[in-house]
Amino acid sequence: MASEDVERLLIQFQDENGEFLGSPFDVQLDITPDKLQLVCNALLQTEDPVPLAFFVRGEAEVVSSLGSCVKALGVETEQVLPVVYQPQAVFRVRAVARCTSTLQGHTEAVISTAFSPTGKYLASGSGDTTVRFWDLTTETPHHTARGHTHWVLSIAWSPDGKKLASGCKNSQICLWDPMTGTQMGKTLTGHSKWITWLCWEPLHLNPECRYLASSSKDGSVRIWDTVLGRCEKILTGHTQSVTCVKWGGDGLLYTSSQDRLVKVWRAKDGVQCRTLHGHAHWVNTLALSTDYVLRTGAFEPATATINPQDLTGSLEELKEKALQRYDKVKGSSPERLVSGSDDFTLFLWNPAEDKKPLARMTGHSALVNEVLFSPDTRLLASASFDKSIKIWDGRTGKYLMSLRGHVGSVYQVAWSADSRLLVSGSSDSTLKVWDIKTGKLNMDLPGHADEVYTVDWSPDGQRVASGGKDKCLRLWRR
C-alpha cells in the first residue's frame, strides 16, 4: 500500500448523545486537536466558540494527532470514523500551590469543612462541639457557633448560601446564620442516634431553601421544615444506620445504608419508590451526577470574581437561573447515582428509571470512602482506604485510571469547578492535587501535622480548605 493512500481519512463529528454534526468529510491523518477544533466550531456556528475535546469513537482522546489515536485503537481507515466532541469549561481553575493560612481555633479534630455555594464563606465542624465560620478575605476566624453538646459530624450549606445546617453526635441539628454566627430558630430534635448526613432541597425546586433532609444512625431519614422548626416526614425502611442522603433535582431522595441497600423516595409524600440491591456490605457514600450544580444553585463558577459576592435577585430570578443551570448539566437523560461501599466496589445507577445497575465498578482493594462526580458529570472519582483514587467514566462506569501517590488511606476528594483538577486528603497528612487529563500529580501539599479528614475546593476556584486531626484548618491558594 502506497504511503499517500493512508494520509487521509473520512471523519464525522458527533456530540455526546450521538447526534451527528454535518456530513462526513476528508481530513489528513496527522490533523491536530487545534485544527479539529477550528473545523468543529465552524460547523457548530456558535457565537462564542468554547474549548472542545475530541474522542475517536468516544473512547480515546485525541491528544497529539488523530493518526496516533487511530493507530492506538487499531481502527479501520476505510470506513467513516465517528469523532465525538465534548465542550470543556470555558474558564480554568489554577492548581493551588501553597498554604496561605493555618487557622487555629478548634480544640479538637476538624471533621468537616465546606465553602458556601459562591465561595464567600467557609464553615467547619469539629469534635470540640462548635461550628466555626471563617473570614476568607482576611483568612481569620469570624464566628464561633456554640449550641451542640457533642461532636459536629456533618455540615451542609443551603444552596442560596444564607444558612448552614450542622448535625452532631447527640442527634441534634442546628441552623446558623453565616453573617452573624448565631443560631436560627430552635434546635431540631427527633432522631434517636447521631446524624450522619444533611442535604437541602435544591434551589430550583424551592428558592426559599425551606426543607432539609437528615439521615441518622437510628435507621431513619427525616425531612424538616426549617421555618417552622419541626419534622415534616420520617422515612423508615432501612434496617440499619443510614449513611448518606441526597436530594435530587427531580424531587427524589436517595439514601444509602449499612443494611447494604440504596433506596429511592419521593420527597413530596415520602413514598418509597425503589430499592437498589447489589452491594454485599455497608454502603458508605452516594454521589449524584448533578451534585455540583445542586450545591452551587444559581451561582455560575465561570462568572466568578476575585472577591466572592452573595447572589442578588428575587427568589423567582434565582430559581430560574438555578433551573437553567440544572437542565444544562443534566442534559436529556435523568440524573445518575453512584454508590460506594465497604465491599470495595461501586455501582452506577439510573435510579429514576431502573432498579438494575448500569455498571458495577471493581478495582479497589479496600473500602470506598467517598465518590464524587466531576462538575461536568463526565468523570467520577472514588477515594479508598487502599491509598488510591480511581477515575471512572461518569456515563458508563468504565475504569479510566488510578491516581497513586498517597501512602495512607484517602479520606476525601474535591473537584475544581472546571473538572480539570482533583484534590485529595489522606491519613498520610498530605493533600495532593491531580491533573486529570494526564493522570499525574500536579502538586504535593504537605503541611498538616496529622491525618487530613476533610477537604473542599471553593466553587469560585480560588482556594482549597482542609482540616483534620491536628485541629487546624488550612487554606491553600495559587
- The alpha carbon of residue 362 and the mean position of all alpha carbons in its chain are separated, in whole angstroms, by 20
Q: What is the mean pLDDT of each run of 10 residues along the chain (478 residues)?
A: 63 85 86 86 81 82 84 81 84 85 91 91 92 89 91 93 92 92 91 92 91 93 92 92 93 93 91 91 92 88 74 84 88 89 92 89 92 92 94 91 93 92 93 92 91 93 92 90
pLDDT at residue 2 in the model: 45
Cell 450544580 -> residue: 293
Q: How far is CA 191 from CA 218, 243, 322, in A?
A: 7, 14, 31
pLDDT at residue 478 in the model: 83
Q: DSSP letter at 305?
A: -
DSSP letters of 220-252? EEEEEETTTTEEEEEEE--SS-EEEEEE-TTSE
- Distance between CA atoms of residues 394 and 380, nearest Å: 5
- Distance between CA atoms of residues 421 and 380, nearest Å: 12
Per-residue pLDDT tens for 193-212?
Answer: 999 999 999 999 988 899 99
pLDDT at residue 357 in the model: 92
pLDDT at residue 450 in the model: 92
User: Rounded to 5 degrees, what are φ and ψ at 385?
Assistant: -75, 0
Q: How far is CA 296 from CA 89, 291, 424, in A?
A: 16, 9, 20
Total residues found in the chain within this entry: 478
Closest to 249 in 3D by CA, of 301, 296, 196: 296
Q: How far is CA 181 from CA 138, 214, 250, 288, 463, in A?
A: 17, 21, 32, 30, 22
Cβ neighbors of 132 (< 8 A, separation 6 or more) are: 105, 106, 123, 124, 126, 141, 142, 143, 144, 145, 473
What is the dihedral angle through the alpha carbons of 310, 316, 317, 318, rounded to the nearest 10 degrees? 40
Say if CB 214 and CB 166 are below 8 A apart.
no
The upper half-sphere exposure of residue 339, i.e. CA atoms within 13 Å in the direction of its Cβ, equals 35
